[in-house]
Homo-oligomer: A and B are copies of this chain.
Amino acid sequence: MTAFRFDLIATDGRARAGLLRTPHGDVPTPVFMPVGTQGTVKAVSPRDLKDLGATMILSNTYHLYLRPGDERIARLGGLHRFMAWDGPILTDSGGFQVFSLAPMRRVDADGVTFRSHIDGSEHRFTPEKVIAIQENLGADIITCLDECAPPTDYEYNRQALERTHAWAERCRAAHRRADQALFGIVQGGVFPDLREASARFITGLGFAGYAIGGLSVGEPKEQTYAVLELLDGLLPSDRPRYLMGVGTPEDLVEGVARGVDMFDCVLPTRMARNGGVLTRHGRLNLRNACYADDPGPLLPDCTCYTCTHFSRAYLRHLILANEILGAHLLTLHNLHLMLTIVREIRESILAGRFAAYREAFWRE
């Protein structure tokens, strides 16, 4: 598949710096993908995303399938043209949404039947169906249908894994578009034996990249890290590894330290709309009265548009008054910080000083 390539450029311990080549452009890794659930990264425009230095975004198969519909998007020229984002896009398979958001669902060996969270209408995803939907959307990277189980329920994970593996085979067989790379998904909760079996099975099928699903959904950090360390030894080093739905600035640093190349998370954008401000460690809640007269920026040294133009007092006012501009400006800041941190991480790997960067990050 010439349209897609991954070059590992440098390693530093387990940390990796690479370059992901896609039909819509190159993506330096590690990469953080802002999430554009419904065909828009909430509260920012494509030109804002470019200005922020975003290189690749994620969009959700489940949401776009329900509204406005993948066939409509195909008729309108595909997702890139539809949302006017000409950079690379990854679509998830909808598995996570179906197993967490859809109000009712019934899983069987062949697929999963669920009700729309919008209007309660009944729908069915099979491996072949989610590939067809993702072909209609036309993202650069697409993913296999998987079943997301609660991470600490062994028996549930064991059974779900059987389905996830069978579905991965069927997705691989259904995959046709040469301009789309298909990623397999490794599941197995927090259980080393299941994760190892999943990694061996999924890599045995052979995919352009490997997603790690079902982590950072409530389990202790040590268990997350243990799974990542295990997988680092099992996943092929010449393919990108994508830790789905993660995370915080700390998660970026610790994920990269365990061999992860790609991240996505709604946290920076969702927090922003609620008045939450990301810092390198933890967050500020602008609704707190202590910011009412604060003339300073969100973060003292931040170079984003928001921090270089607006005070905490003003941004707090916007959030309390439910002004759209508040969501916009906080989203800009939160994404800027995440994208800055992955850039810093990459530079430190290329310079062979990732360990020092990580140590300094935690000392701050």
Q: Which residues of A contact B (CB under 8 A)?
A: 38-40, 42-47, 67-68, 72, 75-77, 82-84, 273, 292-293, 295, 305, 309-311, 313-314, 316-318, 320-321, 323-325, 327-329
Q: Enumerate chain B residues within 8 angstroms of A46, measured Cβ to Cβ.
A: 309
Q: Enumerate chain B residues within 8 angstroms of A292, measured Cβ to Cβ.
A: 68, 72
Copies in the complex: 2
Complex formed: what's the CA distance from A311 to B76 in Å? 9
30 contacts between A and B (CB under 8 A): A38-B318, A38-B321, A39-B317, A39-B318, A40-B318, A40-B325, A42-B325, A43-B324, A43-B328, A45-B305, A45-B329, A46-B309, A47-B305, A68-B292, A68-B316, A68-B317, A68-B320, A76-B293, A76-B295, A76-B311, A76-B313, A76-B314, A77-B295, A82-B311, A82-B313, A83-B314, A84-B310, A324-B327, A324-B328, A328-B328
Q: Enumerate chain B residues within 8 angstroms of A320, measured Cβ to Cβ.
A: 67-68
Contact B314 A82 (CB under 8 A): yes
Complex formed: what's the CA distance from A311 to B84 in Å? 9
Q: Enumerate chain B residues within 8 angstroms of A325, measured Cβ to Cβ.
A: 40, 42-45
Contact B39 A314 (CB under 8 A): yes
Known: A44-B325, A45-B305. 19 other contacts (CB 8 A): A39-B318, A42-B324, A47-B305, A67-B317, A67-B320, A68-B292, A68-B313, A68-B317, A72-B293, A76-B293, A76-B311, A76-B313, A76-B314, A82-B311, A82-B314, A83-B314, A84-B309, A273-B324, A324-B324
Closest to A331 in B: B324
Contact A67 B314 (CB under 8 A): no
Closest to A325 in B: B40
Q: Enumerate chain B residues within 8 angstroms of A328, measured Cβ to Cβ.
A: 43, 45, 324, 328
Q: Enumerate chain B residues within 8 angstroms of A327, measured Cβ to Cβ.
A: 324
Q: Enumerate chain B residues within 8 angstroms of A323, measured Cβ to Cβ.
A: 38, 40, 42
Q: Enumerate chain B residues within 8 angstroms of A314, measured Cβ to Cβ.
A: 39, 76, 82-84
Complex formed: what's the CA distance from A83 to B327 in Å? 15
Q: Enumerate chain B residues within 8 angstroms of A324, measured Cβ to Cβ.
A: 42-43, 273, 324, 327-328
CB proximity of A80 to chain B, nearest CB, Å: 12
Q: Enumerate chain B residues within 8 angstroms of A84, measured Cβ to Cβ.
A: 309-310, 314
Q: Enumerate chain B residues within 8 angstroms of A318, measured Cβ to Cβ.
A: 38-40
Q: Enumerate chain B residues within 8 angstroms of A316, measured Cβ to Cβ.
A: 68
Q: Enumerate chain B residues within 8 angstroms of A40, measured Cβ to Cβ.
A: 318, 323, 325
